Structure 1
Amino acid sequence: MDAIKTALTGAGLAVGDGGAPPAASIPQSGIYAALYFGPGQSVSESLADARTDFALDFQVTYVAPTAEKVLWAVQRGRVALHGPIAVAGRSAWRPEEQGGPPMDRDDDVSPPLFYLPVQYRLQSTA
């Protein structure tokens, strides 16, 4: 999970874990990403049932004041997550984009914000 957050912050995105990052870390542009992780699951690597493989589903919700800025943030995130993810002691595949719902606008906040959740799956082995 730390490796995903590091990749996104390395791409210049303010990142919150389980919601928006602290207000002080959100840039003036109003663009940020919120990470939501599933519990993950151990996966058998062979018929011997050695459970050294691990799969993790996660979602990055990109948030910005305009639809164009959300799409910009999504592209930054895709580039950041396209490269290899470094996890100490493990070999990790590139995160596989699973899609997600379409962009939406939150009119319950003022000013309104646009958001776009993108879901991924990351697999690794020891």
Structure 2
Amino acid sequence: MDAVQAALEAASLVVYLGGTPTSAGWSPPDKFCVLYPDPGEAVRESLADARTDFTTTFQVTCVGASMERALWVADKVRQALSVQLAVQGRASWRPEDLGGPPVQRDDDVNPPLWFVPVQYRIMSIPA
């Protein structure tokens, strides 16, 4: 997930991990994303049952002050994750875009925000 977060930040995105800040007085930027990692799964590489391969899914929730800004963030996320990510000691596949639901409006916050979750799958093996 460090490589995913680094790729998103390299695309000039504001990235929060696992949720947004809950401190009093925090106000959201007009566009940002939230990375929700999955613990992943160690997968056996052969019949010898050596579990050195790794696969995981994760979600990037793209948020904006308008529908257009949320979609802009989703586009930037897709660009950032369209390449193979560098993980020391591992060879990884490019993240596989699994899509997500349509853009939605969150009226539980003030002012309302728009969001669209995009899910990905990634796999790596020892280099």
With normalisation by structure 1, the TM-score equals: 0.92
Q: Which has the higher helix share?
A: 1
Partner of 1:13: 13
Superposition misfits of 4+ residues, deviation over 3 angstroms? 21-24
**1:34-45 equivalent positions in 2, closer than 5 A:** 34-45=34-45
Paired amino acid for 1:106: D
Identity of aligned residues (%): 52
Partner of 1:67: 67
- Alpha-carbon RMSD across the aligned residues, in angstroms, is 1.5
Deviation, 1:106, is 0.4
Partner of 1:122: 122
Question: What's the secondary structure of 1:16's corresponding residue?
Answer: strand
Residue 85 (str. 1) matches residue 85 (str. 2): yes
Deviation, 1:8, is 0.2
Partner of 2:111: 111
Q: Which runs of 5+ in 2 are unaligned?
A: none
Question: What's the secondary structure of 2:81's corresponding residue?
Answer: helix
Cα distance in 1, alignment partners of residues 100 and 45 from structure 2: 28
Deviation, 1:79, is 0.6
Q: Which runs of 5+ in 1 are unaligned?
A: none
Partner of 1:32: 32
Cα distance in 1, alignment partners of residues 20 and 73 from structure 2: 14
